[in-house]
Chains A and B, each alone.
Chain A
Amino acid sequence: QLQLQESGPGLVKPSETLSLTCTVSGGSISSSSYYWGWIRQPPGKGLEWIGSIYYSGSTYYNPSLKSRVTISVDTSKNQFSLKLSSVTAADTAVYYCARHTIAAAAFDYWGQGTLVTVSS
């Protein structure tokens, strides 16, 4: 059974960089059939796609966040990571990592999510 687990600091100061890692177990991140993505959800609000990466390193980013987002992959560790720079309180959210199929473009496996609070 595929599992995804987010990890990283739960508190980040304004103007600093948020860094999260998603560890994939029970399957290979190097599968040619999937992208690996990050989605966030501010408290009490809806879901927002942040960006996605293929095992080769090819990336797609949300245009509204593109200038601040970097997603990378480490196939040797079966992990992919998110960096979001210059954070503000508006970036406070539960951050999810997820797998999505290339063919169906659907997010079929999700991590449990991790709350990141931006505050001084």
Chain B
Amino acid sequence: AQSVTQLGSHVSVSEGALVLLRCNYSSSVPPYLFWYVQYPNQGLQLLLKYTSAATLVKGINGFEAEFKKSETSFHLTKPSAHMSDAAEYFCAVRKTSYDKVIFGPGTSLSVIP
């Protein structure tokens, strides 16, 4: 069964510092991978998705993620954190385009001024 792990339930970075949120997946085949952001008391917003095209995926708000099959990872990065990036981030996996989306436990990002 496919699953997603996110190392670090809470990450704090200084404003302007690099953001690195970790995601590892387990799947028998290269899956579809997603990063979603959820602001307090709001729904989900898709940041980016990997669908077996380029391994480096660029998303919205300056975020990007790199698919590394050898490490079964899909870590999310942003070169310079902004206060508005403070939110909950979920990595998610889907085995095929017709399968269900399974979410990781989430990482809460705090940005320190």
Q: Do A and B come from one complex?
A: no
